[in-house]
Structures are given as C-alpha cells and as structure tokens.
Amino acid sequence: MPARPPERTAADLLTTFGAAPHQTPRQPPTSAKRGRVNRPTAPLRGHARPGHGWSPVLAPLPVYQASTREIGGLFPLLVASPMPAVGARIGYDVQSGGAFYCHPVEWVLRNGLATNPNIAMFGEPGRGKSSTVVAFALRMLNFGVRTLISGDVKGEYTPVVRALGATPIELGAGNHARVNALDLGPLTARWDTWTVRRQRDELSSVLGRWVQLLAALAESQRHPPSVSDEAALAAVLRRLVGASDGYTRLRPITIPDVHRELASPDPQLWRDLRYESRHDFLHQLRPMTDALANLISGALAGMFDAPTTVAIDWDAPVQSMDLSRLRSRGDTAVAVALTCLGAWSSLATGLRDDGDIRIVVRDECWRQLRLGPRAVAAIDAELRLSRLEKIIQILVLHKLSDLYSVGATGSQAVAIAKDLIALCSTRVLFGQSTRVADDLADALALTGPEHQRLTGPVNERRGRALWKTENHPAHLVQTVLSSFEKRLFDTNAQLRPTAGRGGGVGRSRG
C-alpha cells in the first residue's frame, strides 16, 4: 500500500496558490507536557495580567501575510457588509448571513451610499412589499421616526395603526370624515408669524401645488389641461385665497369655489386673463370647468370638496388614511383620492415644525400613476422635496411598466415617470417574472449576477428582495417578520378558512 502523502500546512497551500507567504517564526511550545495539543494554555478567564487574555491555542500564533487573491482562496466565505449597522434591522443578508439594516437618511450622510433617502419597491403581488414597509416603519420607531401612510387602499395598515394606540383616518361610505383637497392646513396658523417675504414664498409654493392637483384631477376626467387652463386656475386660486388683496388673511377654499368662479366669472377675472369677452372665457374654459363639475358630483362627491373634518395626528407613531371603503367606487375614484390625499398630506407634512424625520408611504401608488402625466408630476415634486423636508418617501409599485403606462412611448410623461426611479436612490426588488425582471435589470443597470439573482434566489421565499442603492452592489436580503408583525399584517387572512377552529387570524377592522 503506497504511503499517504504528508498533510499540507496552510503555508504549503498558500504557496501553491501564489507567492510564498511571509511567516513569523513560531516559538516551540514551552510546555513540559508536549504531545497534547488541546491542553489549555491559560485559565478560562485568562491570566490576570495586562495583555494576557484568554487564549484557546498556543501563543504566539503563527501569522501569515498574503495578498487578498490567496486569502480569498483560503477563507472563501468571509464577506464584510459595506452597509452600516444603523437604523431598522430588516433581516439578514442571504449571502453573508449578517444582519441587514436600513436607514436611508444615514445612507445619504455616510459615505454617499445614497444621494437621496427615497425608496422604490417593485414586486409581484403577495411578495411581501407592504410587510417589509411595516417592518421598516415599526423598527424605525426606535429612532423616533414616525410614519404616515398616505392612502391605504386595502385598509391593511389599519390594524397596525390601532395596535399602536392611534386611530386611522377612514374615508368613504358610511364615514363622515372629509378632507378638503385645497386645505390650507397649518399655513393659516403660521401665517401671522411669518414675514411678508416668507408669506409670499409659502403661498406661491402652495398655489403651485394646487394648480398641479387640479390639473391632475381634470386629467382624470379625460381633460388634459392646457397652459391657458392652468393660468386661469392659478388666477382663480389667488383671488379666492385672498392673495390678491395684500396678504391680509387667507380664506379657506374648496373645489366647488373654484368651479363657481370659472362657471360665473366676474368681469375683472376674464379681463385680467386677456379673454375678449365673458363668452370667450366660458367657451375656452368649458372643458376645465366641466371636469371640476364631474369631480364634485361624481363618485367622490362630498369627500374632497368640503372643509376638512379630520386632523393628522403628528404624535401617532404610525398614522394612515384608510381608503378601503372607497374601493367599490372604482379605480379612478381611488386614484383621485390618492392624488388628493397626497397633496393634502404633503402640505401638512412639509409645514410641520418638529424637525423630525418622517416616513411617507405611498403604497399602491401605481394606481395614482395611471391617472396621467400630472399625477406623475405631483409625485415627482414630492420626491424632489424629500431631503429638504426630512422625509423618507417610499413608493410601492408592481413593475416598471407601471411607470410607462402614463403616456405614449417617448412622451414627456414617460420621461418624468422614468425619472421617478432616479429620485429613489434605494430600490428594493422583490420577486418578478422573467420578462419584468429583464426590464428592471435594463432600467436599473443591474450587473449580470444581480440580474440572475432577481430571476432566481429572490423568488425562493416571501419577503426576499434585492436591495440596491444606486451604483453600489446589491444585497440579497430576507425580511424577517416577528410573530407579532405576522399576526398584525396578515394580508392573506381573508384567503384562510375562517369557519371552526382551523380558521386563520382574521384581521379585525374594528
């Protein structure tokens, strides 16, 4: 029988793969009892002398020096995560096994891991997007970061809000809550404390948002507003709010007020806007006026066109606006509601003065994008303000084509929609079909291995996603939900049999 070759040492192995490693000479063991190698050389807690800690092997240790090329061969599983361990602990990095944390604001501040704190999530239905949002929001509470769910179409977040002791704002059938889409919000209370210059700046920013909002709403009624329509809207809004009377006091206005001004203009208005006659004004602006009339009398009548009766509770850890009762009124109604709420909550969020970081979640925002280019422009404007207003905006979408459904290929609307991705430094990519994954890989410039993970390992479990921040390598992360979170946010509850004891956890809406 041939003799067994002698075992190779680490030094031999390294020499095989590259240059001979430099090794510090190892001192022969001084112990009298040679032969045994597993004998402790120190008491359990080490020698009670400086520099003599616990030592499981003979000291001094052999030290090798080699380049990372060879060391990579020797310790193939060692990977350090470049993401800082700060913020919400989401779960674990599937490849390294290390914990994965997310704090988008810190990512902006540290090492330029991201350029803005916004997050875009993509994934097929049921992959765990909303669950990851809940986990993130709950865990960011430890850092004093509170969350606003700007339109919860399915009412999924309601149990979470209630479990935290807050009351969600519920809009829709059988509920008397009203939100004025043109609410002045905290602006009225602060008005007197501001300088004239600040008043002018704040007001023009609010008027600009309102024009965008009304234009988006008109577009939802299949009337794309022209530049002249927008000019008329701006003039009407300024007059109604009292901005043209020397900024004394702001008057509250509603959409029916705007409609009334357009439907029966006073001579000063049409002259100021350079129309030839009252008839000319009415004729030119008829489509815009009718679009607003449809909103007032349509499926959302009374909901966004009357004075606000609810207030955002800024002290609530998580606050949401539940739109689940609106679903029966159709997709357009839901999309219009999301747009109105987005405008209302962004005004309120932008003007709060606590200086805290806030998370604003736009779940199911693909519904809003379908309203048209103006709705996209409204979201675009919010995303651009996030750093200034200390807001982490989270957009939840299904697929990339949600962004392209806003207009014809190559149109300006599609260009703005594509820009939305650029305004979200962090992209969280959940499981997708191969075709959608190909689109995403293309648009987000994923590398080959990242693309492969998107069609493979990402699909292995719910809550698994590729987290990618701009030009940094992606991390395959598994969101880990606690049993409490799973119970609280079980969006599959309605699919489980409820009869008998075998029934699942039913979500209570009460």
Ligand X SMILES: Nc1ncnc2c1ncn2[C@@H]1O[C@H](COP(=O)(O)OP(=O)(O)OP(=O)(O)O)[C@@H](O)[C@H]1O
Chain residues that interact with ligand X, rule: CB under 6 A = 123, 125-131, 462-463, 479, 481, 486, 489-492
Rounded Cα–Cα distance for residues 286 and 380 (Å): 29
Task: Give the residue with the Cβ less far from Mg ion, 131 or 478.
Answer: 131
Rounded to a whole number of angstroms, the minimum distance from the CB of residue 430 to ligand X is 6
CA 443, chain centre distance (Å): 19
Among 116, 118, 130, 180, binds Mg ion (CB under 5 A): 130
Q: How many residues line the site for Mg ion (CB under 5 A)? A: 1
Give the one entry of ligand X, Mg ion, none that residue 481 binds, where binding means its C-beta sits below a cut-off of 5 to 8 angstroms depending on kind: ligand X
Give the one entry of ligand X, Mg ion, none that residue 219 binds, where binding means its C-beta sits below a cut-off of 5 to 8 angstroms depending on kind: none
Q: Taking a C-beta distance cutoff of 8 angstroms, is the pair 181, 332 a contact? A: no
Q: Does 158 bind Mg ion (CB under 5 A)?
A: no
Q: Which residues contact 349 (CB under 8 A, 6 or more apart)?
A: 148, 312, 358, 360, 389, 391
Rounded to a whole number of angstroms, the minimum distance from the CB of residue 486 to ligand X is 5
Task: Give the residue with the Cβ less far from Mg ion, 130 or 199.
Answer: 130
Q: Which residues contact 192 (CB under 8 A, 6 or more apart)?
A: none
- Backbone dihedral angles phi then psi of residue 79, each to the nearest 5 degrees: -130, 125
Rounded to a whole number of angstroms, the minimum distance from the CB of residue 117 to ligand X is 21
Q: Which helix (H) or strand (E) holds 147?
A: strand 146-152
State which residue has the least CB distance to ligand X. Answer: 463
Three-state secondary structure call for residue 324:
strand
Q: Which two tokens stand for residue 434?
A: 């191969």
Task: Give the residue with the Cβ less far from ligand X, 90 or 171.
Answer: 90
CA 36, chain centre distance (Å): 59
Task: Give the residue with the Cβ less far from Mg ion, 238 or 487.
Answer: 487
Rounded to a whole number of angstroms, the minimum distance from the CB of residue 458 to Mg ion is 17
Long-range contacts of 446-454 (CB under 8 A, 24+ apart): 446/474, 447/473, 450/474, 454/429
Task: Give the residue with the Cβ less far from Mg ion, 275 or 430.
Answer: 430
| Sign of the dihedral through C-alpha 104, 106, 112, 115 | positive
* Subset of 440-499 contacting Mg ion (CB under 5 A): none
State which residue has the least CB distance to Mg ion. Answer: 130
Give the one entry of ligand X, Mg ion, none that residue 220 binds, where binding means its C-beta sits below a cut-off of 5 to 8 angstroms depending on kind: none
Rounded to a whole number of angstroms, the minimum distance from the CB of residue 47 to Mg ion is 58
Give the one entry of ligand X, Mg ion, none that residue 462 binds, where binding means its C-beta sits below a cut-off of 5 to 8 angstroms depending on kind: ligand X
Rounded Cα–Cα distance for residues 496 and 311 (Å): 35
Q: Does 284 bind Mg ion (CB under 5 A)?
A: no
Q: How many CB atoms lie within 10 A of CB 386?
A: 22
Task: Give the residue with the Cβ less far from ligand X, 129 or 239.
Answer: 129
Rounded to a whole number of angstroms, the minimum distance from the CB of residue 128 to Mg ion is 8
Q: Which residues contact 449 (CB under 8 A, 6 or more apart)?
A: none
Rounded to a whole number of angstroms, the minimum distance from the CB of residue 473 to ligand X is 22
Task: Give the residue with the Cβ less far from Mg ion, 312 or 397.
Answer: 397
- Backbone dihedral angles phi then psi of residue 416, each to the nearest 5 degrees: -65, -40
Contacts to Mg ion by CB under 5 A: 130
